[in-house]
Amino acid sequence: MSLLAVRNLDVNFDTPDGEVHAVTKLNFSISAGDALGIVGESGSGKTQTMMAVMGLLAENGHASGQALFKGHDLLQMDTAELNHHRGKEIAMIFQDPMTSLNPYLSIEKQMVEVVMHHQGLSKAEARAHALEMLSAVRIPDPERRIRQYPHEYSGGMRQRVMVAMGLVCEPDLLIADEPTTALDVTVQAQICQLMSELRRKSNTAIILITHDLGVVAGLCDKVLVMYAGHPVECGSVEQIYYRPRHPYTKGLLDSVPRLDQPEEKGLHAIPGNPPNLLSLPRGCRFRERCPKAFADCVEAPPMSVDSEGHAYRCFLDEPA
């Protein structure tokens, strides 16, 4: 049985301008100890998918479908039930480490409260546990650092604290929402290395949300590509990177700047913009930007799966 199985997930937001369809008919699953990367540009629904799973959608948002965590549907749970899983079995790391820690509480209070709440440990035990975790994410001098406040930490250190805080209860699943986007490149590499180490050590499954294909390649075994709220392609890292089936995935891969290509070719960009989520076009959602679109694309392509388990949402029966 998979650890988390998302089935037919729809996430919609009521806005004064109408209903925004942030996520449509999303299916994916992840097994214990696996690492799944979810990629797509801004507004493709990757973050909202995870917010729905965590029960953290904004008030005007609602999710339908199923998110089965160890067989129990997270979407059907009320807050009290969710709180048995959140922080304990599923932890989440957010995009912006500068604002995601409470500036009014010391790191100690913020770490200790999770452990005490979920594991019923005493304050001293929880503190020892937190110190251990801070050493594991390589915060120097944790005894002194733990008493400090977030503003005394740099961005990279705050994100390491977030990682430590997420992993302190040894969750089965860690959701990392663009954990390295706000950080500079060297720090990015540290955070990624840290997560993959911890994953190996404690067999924690990781869902990594990002638009950075490089980070995914380094950390994940499976990749899900999303476009305008739709999953468009899903497969192993090798399948996605070497044999992409969807023109959008191909476009994404081509827009990664490369040193081994002649300079005069310049940077590749996918022309146009993603469709308006208030009024999605009929048929394939990528149709208007797709270099290979043809007549059939006015109908919505179904998700097809090839013999190797590589899934893609395109009528083209050839590598893109």
Residues interacting with other proteins, by CB under 8 A? 54-56, 59, 79-80, 82-88, 91-92, 94, 96, 99-106, 109, 113-114, 117-118, 149, 151, 162, 165
CB-wise, 94 or 248, nearer to other proteins? 94
Q: Least distance from C-beta 40 to other proteins, angstroms?
A: 21
DSSP state, residue 146 = T
Beta strands in the chain (DSSP E): 4-15, 18-30, 35-39, 61-69, 72-73, 90-93, 173-177, 205-210, 222-227, 230-236, 304-305, 311-312
Contact of 138 with 157, CB cutoff 8 Å: no
Q: Least distance from C-beta 61 to other proteins, angstroms?
A: 13
CB-wise, 147 or 200, nearer to other proteins? 147
Contact of 94 with 162, CB cutoff 8 Å: yes
Kindly give the pairing relationship between strand 222-227 and strand 230-236.
Answer: antiparallel
Q: Least distance from C-beta 173 to other proteins, angstroms?
A: 12
Length of the chain: 320
CB-wise, 57 or 128, nearer to other proteins? 57
- Non-local (6+) Cβ contacts of 310 within 8 A are 233, 234, 235, 236, 239, 243, 245
Q: Least distance from C-beta 58 to other proteins, angstroms?
A: 8
Kindly give the pairing relationship between strand 61-69 and strand 4-15.
Answer: antiparallel
CA dist 37 and 319 (Å) reads: 21
CB-wise, 166 or 231, nearer to other proteins? 166
CB-wise, 84 or 258, nearer to other proteins? 84
CA dist 153 and 136 (Å) reads: 17
CB-wise, 84 or 123, nearer to other proteins? 84
Q: Least distance from C-beta 252 to other proteins, angstroms?
A: 27
**SS3 of residue 197 by DSSP:** helix
Q: Least distance from C-beta 117 to other proteins, angstroms?
A: 6
- Per the rule left: phi > 0, alpha: psi between -120 and 50, beta: everything else, 272 is left
CB-wise, 11 or 252, nearer to other proteins? 11
Q: Least distance from C-beta 277 to other proteins, angstroms?
A: 21
